[in-house]
A and B are shown apart, each in its own frame.
Chain A
């Protein structure tokens, strides 16, 4: 309201007032300048990669990273996808993409489902030691994997799951559980206990209540958890590099091999196209469901 009256006010403004307005305008401009400057910093690597991925090697070597690709070519993308050399096999990233998809889907679905049940059980029911159980599971989110790698490799060998996607599915599922449990538990903490009580009065047991009441209302949290797990499993490097090799590695390991394997002149354009290809799925998910992604981030950090 104030702004409107000020704008329609046609009395001559005093010198001081116009000064104040100019001052305010300058301050706003400075705020925007700073914010846009930071946006530039965050966008720079992406822009530079996109530019490089559309240049041929000759242009790469004779132009700066900020120069637009004057005669853009899709060749680097094609080669990164289907013929670039990863280690000694020149098959591109295609197969590794498939590996990763086959690994991500079961790992995400199973860990999210079990996490939902755990979160429900740990937030809406208390049993002797339930806080301890939760605390011990929660620490599993933070425990550094370095201190488990050797036993994991022994166990995978024992189960016959060494060097394969099956082993990675198992690992990402099991080690994803603490995180998914925490997400759902914190979400269900905000659900009123009366709802569970009312269901119980109506004769619904633990599982009936879960299926009919809890699950339908937790769809936003399911989306958050699936996106979060998808991003972290897709981006995993440590498990992949420790327990798989050759044609069985997930995408990030393959990408790292692609970038570090080329002898002689490094085909930077193919490297950049490959990096963008590998980052594309998580970036697309972020663009489509950024809100949920950020909620997951915050849930993982500062509990809501």
Chain B
């Protein structure tokens, strides 16, 4: 079965070297084995462990007195959890929608053969290099009624100006949207810009010859061609929203009260601060389920796409 080099037929090049006998694949499998074992333990093993804890009555330490689904029932009866879930919905929809619109607009404007394009791109993207803690601190300072925008507007003579979302329980969650959009919109721009650069210019030229205006060309031809970029961007944005933790801690710390809590801060508080480990684990499992629902179809689609491409 092991072909000598001289007999190697050219057509076999495309075929993966799967059937080349044991010695051929062993080193690769061996090389990946340590990582695979580490991931198996530290990702899948730990997920299983947390899931087990979520079915117990653990408080400050894991204990294995099983109580069935009662932690989940309690979770969904808890006001604080439901508030955090609603906040996550508001936050992720606001954050994803605004980032998509801004990112798309900036990308289209930047795609007009702009001078200094690379400098502008650097400016739009630098927030991605900054931690969410620093982002939170900066925006907290800007949105702080005593020192920030409200103060600025009043010093300009608009005495009754009011911008106190940060301390308004109904609006606090939207301050998170502002800061998160600022951090991520440039990234979405980069995704769309890459998509725009892949659009076939012949099609655009043909449409121009037909007399279509720029606006129509974008809305009817180019934007629909950005489906894939759009899909990636939405998945990444929603995934990021679900995972958001640092930003909340730095900006509102879940407050006022628990009005801007997210599931991640709920999880952290229950597990590490309030001695409700089983509750915390149940909430963590809920977060995991949401992430699976978002990410697994995406990864599957990417995988299939890759396989289709490589078979050509």
Question: Which A residues contact B (CB, under 8 angstroms)?
Answer: 31-32, 34-35, 38-39, 41-46, 48-49, 52, 60-61, 64-66, 114, 117-118, 120-122, 124-128, 130-131, 133, 135-140, 142-144, 146-152, 154, 174-175, 177-178, 181, 189, 193-194, 197, 200-201, 205-207, 231, 234-235, 237-238, 241-242, 252, 255-256, 259-260, 268, 271-272, 275-276, 278-279, 282-283, 285-287, 290, 293-294, 297-298, 301-303
Contacts and interface: CB of A to CB of B under 8 A. Distances in A.
A64 B148 CA distance: 7
Interface string B266-295: 011001100001001101110110010001
Contact of A39 (B47, B51, B120, B263): B120
A-B residue pairs, 8 tightest by C-beta:
A206-B27, A125-B28, A235-B131, A127-B25, A286-B129, A121-B28, A151-B46, A45-B138
A301 B236 contact: yes
A206 B28 contact: yes
B106 A38 contact: yes
Contacts of B162: none
B284 A144 contact: yes
Nearest to A301: B236
A38 B108 CA distance: 13
A64 B126 contact: no
A207 to B, nearest CB: 7
A38 B27 contact: no
Nearest to B131: A235
B227 to A, nearest CB: 12
Task: Please indicate which of the listed interface residues A42, A140, A290 has the most CB atoms of chain B within 10 Å of its own CB.
Answer: A42
A242 to B, nearest CB: 7
A148 B268 CA distance: 12
A241 B265 CA distance: 12
Given A35-B110, A65-B151, A237-B132, A151 B141 contact: no
A125 B17 contact: yes
Interface of B: 5, 8, 13, 16-18, 24-29, 31-32, 34-36, 38-40, 42-47, 49-51, 53, 62, 102, 105-106, 109-110, 112, 114, 120-135, 137-139, 141-142, 147-149, 151-152, 155, 182, 186-187, 190-191, 194, 228-229, 232-233, 236, 239, 242-243, 245-246, 249-250, 253, 263-264, 267-268, 271-272, 277, 280-281, 283-285, 287-288, 291, 295-296, 299, 302-303, 306
Interface of A is mostly: helix
30 contacts: A35-B109, A41-B182, A42-B186, A45-B135, A45-B182, A46-B126, A46-B138, A49-B141, A64-B155, A65-B148, A65-B149, A118-B35, A126-B25, A130-B28, A135-B299, A139-B43, A142-B299, A147-B281, A148-B47, A150-B49, A151-B45, A174-B38, A178-B39, A234-B131, A242-B272, A255-B134, A259-B250, A271-B141, A293-B125, A297-B190
Contact of B249 (A117, A237, A294): A237
Given A114-B35, A126-B18, A278-B134, A35 B106 contact: yes
Contacts of B13: 193-194, 197
Nearest to B152: A64
Nearest to A272: B141
B280 A256 contact: no
A177 B250 contact: no
B142 A154 contact: no
Contacts of A282: 129-131
A142 B291 contact: yes
A259 B138 CA distance: 11
A141 to B, nearest CB: 9
Contacts of B130: 235, 279, 282-283
Contact of B142 (A65, A137, A148, A238): A65
A238 B245 CA distance: 8
B182 to A, nearest CB: 7
B125 A294 contact: yes
A290 B131 CA distance: 16
A52 B141 contact: yes
Contacts of B280: 150
B279 to A, nearest CB: 12
B123 A275 contact: no
A298 B126 contact: no
A145 to B, nearest CB: 8
Given A150-B62, A301-B236, A121 B29 contact: yes
Contacts of B126: 42, 46, 283, 286
A152 B46 contact: yes
A256 B155 contact: no
B311 to A, nearest CB: 13
B25 A237 contact: no
B8 to A, nearest CB: 8
A275 to B, nearest CB: 5
A151 B126 CA distance: 35
Contacts of B129: 231, 279, 282-283, 285-286, 293
Given A146-B263, A147-B284, 13 more contacts: A42-B124, A121-B29, A127-B18, A136-B40, A137-B39, A139-B43, A146-B288, A206-B28, A237-B245, A282-B130, A283-B126, A298-B190, A298-B191
Given A31-B114, A197-B13, A139 B18 contact: no
A297 B187 contact: yes
Contacts of B42: 148, 152, 174-175
Given A45-B135, A138-B299, A283-B129, A38 B141 contact: no
